[in-house]
């Protein structure tokens, strides 16, 4: 792909607005927490401190929207506490330019490396650096800096408290992940009716597996319907494949094949019903024809031995799916519950927050190596933030933080996301600043009205943030104008600064990736090699298990299967990323990349 085409596509994608499911209750809760924090701090400390507290509450609410399996209150608390510490340390060094620049570079480098722990950690860390650049300008003494840090943390505490007191779809992310896995298997069953050797995409099952890992406290409060369903879903997949496979003795056409198609359709209907029940927490409602097909007595007479055994096993597993979706658990789980009610399998245990710290540090340390895309991102963003801050100070605007703030918020380890967000941020900033300017000129808001307008903008951002980054940025730009206006800044100066310095920050981010890139395209061969090697190990473990089942446990096969699924997903993500890069092909054409989906032993994932 040429640079011109890449720029055109990323710009179009960045400005795209999608129709997504809105979450008004969560948006209202976040805005209510923000309003509560601003109101309390306005009443006790004045508008400047209220502005700092608003940044803390605003960012804490945004953190709860991230895709994470951790409890939302924990995300809010971590966001508020980390921003409070960043603000205090930033103010302590702010009067010494060299010391502050050293802290800024170090803090930004750590934030870039935080992407090694996952997108949620990376986003929260990057946002802390960006907001710190604003909040350190508000205090005027060390005591005030401590107060500002305290109210920022208070904003996170308020948001976490509201989440606990007014929960919206508790365990919603875990429910959605498990429901998506069951729905994917339902779709797989329907596709097997027409294509008996259809491929199965393991991504939903891998996502559900990640969602199933819980801390000890989560395990004690997890809904009953989330116990065991994923394991049953894992066991259903090979049974569906065996039932449809012509190699199991069912001819391509005839009464036996017709019955298999009916069983697969019924299985899809049951799995869809279970997915809906788990997603919404409702009772399972199964269509009567599906139940009739599964209970038809002549199935055993029509099918040969291998297919008959698969049909019998399918019926048992579907019954277990229904039981778990209803919250009863499988029969095996009910028997085990009396002995080990609170025991979690070690490999599904999620570390607590304190125990997560060394895990994150190890992940970050592992990325400090030549060629690491995370390390290149960290170096890139640290240099850009430093250069952007110096440029902002040199330009005759007075608030030099807008350029590095824009840069750190748009920069991502991937080329496409960085360029998309740069374009979207500038476009959203122009729209948001224009709308805020019109409102300010028409209403001339004071402190109280500015606070109300800021809360309204935050509400719109929480509500619409999943529709597109440009929309969210328009709301954020207006929010910042009103918030800093409440704190006493000249709104006309703020408008000019935001537009010009946001453009500078976005351009710096885009140029930095072109100068110091981390292209995925040259690594495609390695990704493909890793996937094929893991496929070979999986195939060897299956053969070894069948050859000597007494010596080889099923755990070895299971571990090999999970490894090849992980490698396959990494390959697919690499291909998707490389398609948007302005890099010449390095030996793998798009057709060859597509053909890899059919050339590995795990493409159909035989039973394990």
**Stretch 437-458: mean pLDDT:** 90
The single-letter DSSP state of residue 351 is: P
Q: Which residues pair with 349 in a beta bridge?
A: 214
pLDDT at 492 over 70: no
Min mean pLDDT across 153-157, 266-270, 348-352 is at: 348-352
Tell me, what's the pLDDT at 508?
Answer: 94
Write out the two tokens for 607: 């039973």
Distance, in Å, from the CA atom of 86 to the CA atom of 238, rounded to the nearest integer, reads 51
Write out the two tokens for 152: 């920022």
Tell me, what's the pLDDT at 548?
Answer: 76
Identify the band that residue 230 occupies on the pLDDT scale cut at 50, 70 and 90.
confident
**Which backbone phi and psi does 349 adopt, to 5 degrees?**
-85, 130
Q: How far is CA 366 from CA 14, 109, 261, 347, in A?
A: 32, 15, 49, 21
Tell me, what's the pLDDT at 379?
Answer: 95
Q: How far is CA 90 from CA 107, 138, 150, 170, 465, in A?
A: 10, 11, 14, 36, 29
pLDDT at 408 over 70: yes
Distance, in Å, from the CA atom of 562 to the CA atom of 601, rounded to the nearest integer, reads 14
pLDDT at 255 over 70: yes
Tell me, what's the pLDDT at 511?
Answer: 94
Min mean pLDDT across 400-414, 472-486, 545-559 is at: 545-559
Q: Which of 237, 193, 232 is nearest to 605 (CA)?
A: 237
Q: Which residues pair with 214 in a beta bridge?
A: 349
Distance, in Å, from the CA atom of 596 to the CA atom of 589, rounded to the nearest integer, reads 11
* pLDDT, tens digit (0-9, with 9 covering 90-100), for 331-366: 444 444 333 333 333 446 777 777 888 888 898 999
Instruction: State the alpha helices, DSSP H only, in 326-401.
Output: 331-337, 353-366, 373-394
Distance, in Å, from the CA atom of 461 to the CA atom of 574, rounded to the nearest integer, reads 31
Tell me, what's the pLDDT at 552?
Answer: 65
Residue 587 backbone class (left: φ over 0; alpha: ψ -120 to 50; beta: rest): left
Residue 247 backbone class (left: φ over 0; alpha: ψ -120 to 50; beta: rest): alpha
* pLDDT, tens digit (0-9, with 9 covering 90-100), for 181-208: 999 999 999 999 888 888 888 889 888 8
Tell me, what's the pLDDT at 525?
Answer: 87
Using DSSP's 3-state secondary structure scheme, residue 349 falls into: strand
Using DSSP's 3-state secondary structure scheme, residue 84 falls into: helix
Element (H, E) at 428: helix 415-443
Q: In the chain, how long is the greatest CA-to-CA distance?
A: 87
pLDDT at 533 over 80: yes
Distance, in Å, from the CA atom of 25 to the CA atom of 31, rounded to the nearest integer, reads 10
Tell me, what's the pLDDT at 102?
Answer: 92
Across the chain, mean pLDDT equals 84
Q: Among all chains, which residue has been given the structure tokens 């010494």?
A: 96
Q: CA angle 386-390-394, nearest 5°? A: 170
Name residues whose C-beta falls within 8 Å of residue 298's C-beta, 6 or more positions apart in sequence: none
Using DSSP's 3-state secondary structure scheme, residue 21 falls into: coil
Tell me, what's the pLDDT at 343?
Answer: 35
Distance, in Å, from the CA atom of 63 to the CA atom of 488, rounded to the nearest integer, reads 27
Tell me, what's the pLDDT at 553?
Answer: 65
Tell me, what's the pLDDT at 327?
Answer: 62
pLDDT at 9 over 50: yes
**Residue 488: other Cβ atoms inside 10 A:** 12
Instruction: Tell which wins on pLDDT, 374 or 330.
Output: 374
Distance, in Å, from the CA atom of 104 to the CA atom of 296, rounded to the nearest integer, reads 70
Tell me, what's the pLDDT at 165?
Answer: 93
Write out the two tokens for 457: 């903008």
**Stretch 251-271: mean pLDDT:** 86
Name residues whose C-beta falls within 8 Å of residue 301's C-beta, 6 or more positions apart in sequence: none
Instruction: Tell which wins on pLDDT, 494 or 241.
Output: 241
Q: Is the dihedral of CA 114, 117, 119, 125 positive or negative?
A: negative
Q: CA angle 6-465-503, nearest 5°? A: 50
Residue 84 backbone class (left: φ over 0; alpha: ψ -120 to 50; beta: rest): alpha
**Which backbone phi and psi does 288 adopt, to 5 degrees?**
-60, -40
Instruction: State the alpha helices, DSSP H only, in 516-607.
Output: 524-547, 554-578, 590-595
Residue 534 backbone class (left: φ over 0; alpha: ψ -120 to 50; beta: rest): alpha
Tell me, what's the pLDDT at 608?
Answer: 43
**Stretch 540-559: mean pLDDT:** 78
Backbone Cα Rg of the chain:
27
**Stretch 59-87: mean pLDDT:** 89
Rounded to the nearest 10°, the torsion over CA 466, 470, 473, 474 is: -110
Identify the band that residue 381 occupies on the pLDDT scale cut at 50, 70 and 90.
very high
* pLDDT, tens digit (0-9, with 9 covering 90-100), for 293-332: 888 877 777 777 788 888 888 888 888 888 877 765 444 4
pLDDT at 178 over 70: yes
Q: How far is CA 46 from CA 31, 301, 321, in A?
A: 20, 81, 57
Instruction: Tell which wins on pLDDT, 299 or 38.
Output: 38
Identify the band that residue 411 occupies on the pLDDT scale cut at 50, 70 and 90.
very high
Distance, in Å, from the CA atom of 533 to the CA atom of 125, rounded to the nearest integer, reads 35
Distance, in Å, from the CA atom of 5 to the CA atom of 444, rounded to the nearest integer, reads 44
In contact, 542 and 608? CB cutoff 8 Å: yes
Min mean pLDDT across 42-46, 100-104, 319-323, 517-521 is at: 319-323
């Amino acid at each position: 792909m040429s640079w011109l085409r890449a720029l055109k596509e990323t710009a179009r994608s960045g400005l795209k607005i999608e129709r997504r499911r809105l979450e008004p209750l969560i948006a209202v809760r976040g805005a209510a927490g923000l309003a509560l924090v601003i109101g309390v701090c306005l009443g006790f400390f004045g508008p400047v401190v209220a502005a700092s507290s608003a940044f803390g509450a605003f960012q804490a609410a945004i953190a709860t929207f991230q895709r994470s399996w951790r409890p939302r209150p924990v995300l809010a608390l971590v966001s508020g506490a980390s921003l409070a510490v960043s603000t205090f340390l930033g103010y302590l060094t702010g009067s010494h330019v060299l010391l502050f620049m050293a802290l800024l570079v170090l803090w930004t480098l750590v934030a870039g490396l935080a992407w090694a722990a996952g997108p949620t950690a990376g986003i929260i860390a990057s946002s802390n650096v960006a907001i710190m650049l604003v909040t350190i300008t508000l205090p005027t003494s060390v005591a005030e800096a401590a107060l500002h840090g305290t109210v920022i943390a208070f904003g996170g505490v308020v948001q976490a408290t509201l989440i606990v007191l007014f929960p919206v779809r508790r365990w919603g992310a875990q429910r959605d992940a498990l429901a998506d896995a069951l729905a994917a298997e339902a779709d797989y069953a329907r596709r097997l009716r027409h294509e008996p050797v259809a491929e199965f995409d393991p991504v939903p099952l891998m996502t559900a597996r990640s969602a199933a890992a819980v801390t000890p406290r989560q395990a004690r409060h997890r809904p009953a319907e989330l116990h065991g369903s994923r394991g049953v879903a894992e066991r259903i997949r090979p049974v569906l494949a065996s039932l449809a496979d012509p190699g199991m003795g069912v001819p391509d056409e005839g009464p036996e094949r017709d019955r298999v198609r009916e069983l697969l359709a019924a299985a899809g209907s049951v799995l869809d019903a279970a997915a809906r029940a788990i997603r919404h927490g409702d009772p399972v409602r199964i269509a009567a024809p599906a139940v009739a097909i599964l209970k038809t007595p002549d199935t055993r007479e029509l099918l040969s031995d291998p297919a008959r055994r698969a049909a019998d096993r399918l019926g048992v597993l579907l019954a277990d799916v229904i039981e778990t979706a209803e919250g009863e658990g499988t029969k095996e789980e009910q028997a085990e519950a009396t002995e080990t009610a609170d025991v979690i399998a070690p490999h599904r245990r999620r570390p607590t927050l304190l125990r997560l710290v060394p895990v994150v540090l190890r992940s970050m340390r592992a990325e400090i190596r030549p060629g690491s895309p995370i390390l290149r991102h960290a170096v890139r963003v640290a240099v850009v933030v430093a250069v952007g801050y110096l440029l902002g100070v040199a330009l005759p605007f007075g608030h030099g933080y807008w350029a590095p703030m824009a840069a750190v918020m748009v920069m991502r380890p991937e080329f496409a996301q960085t360029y998309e967000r740069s374009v979207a941020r500038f476009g959203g900033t122009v729209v948001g600043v224009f709308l805020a300017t019109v409102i300010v000129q028409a209403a001339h808001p004071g402190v109280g009205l500015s606070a109300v307008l800021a809360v309204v903008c935050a509400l719109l951002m929480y509500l619409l943030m999943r529709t597109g980054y440009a929309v969210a940025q328009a709301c954020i730009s207006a929010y910042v104008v009103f918030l800093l206006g409440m704190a006493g800044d000249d709104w006309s100066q703020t408008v000019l600064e935001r537009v010009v310095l946001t453009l500078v920050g976005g351009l710096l981010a885009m140029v930095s990736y072109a100068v110091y890139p981390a292209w995925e395209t040259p690594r495609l061969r390695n990704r493909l090699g890793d996937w094929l090697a893991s496929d070979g190990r999986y195939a060897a473990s299956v053969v070894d298990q069948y050859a000597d089942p007494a010596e080889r446990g099923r755990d070895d096969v299971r571990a090999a299967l999970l490894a090849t699924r992980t490698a396959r997903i990494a390959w697919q993500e690499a291909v998707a990323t490389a398609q948007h890069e302005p890099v010449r092909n390095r030996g793998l054409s798009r057709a060859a990349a597509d053909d890899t989906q059919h050339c590995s032993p795990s493409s159909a994932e035989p039973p394990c």
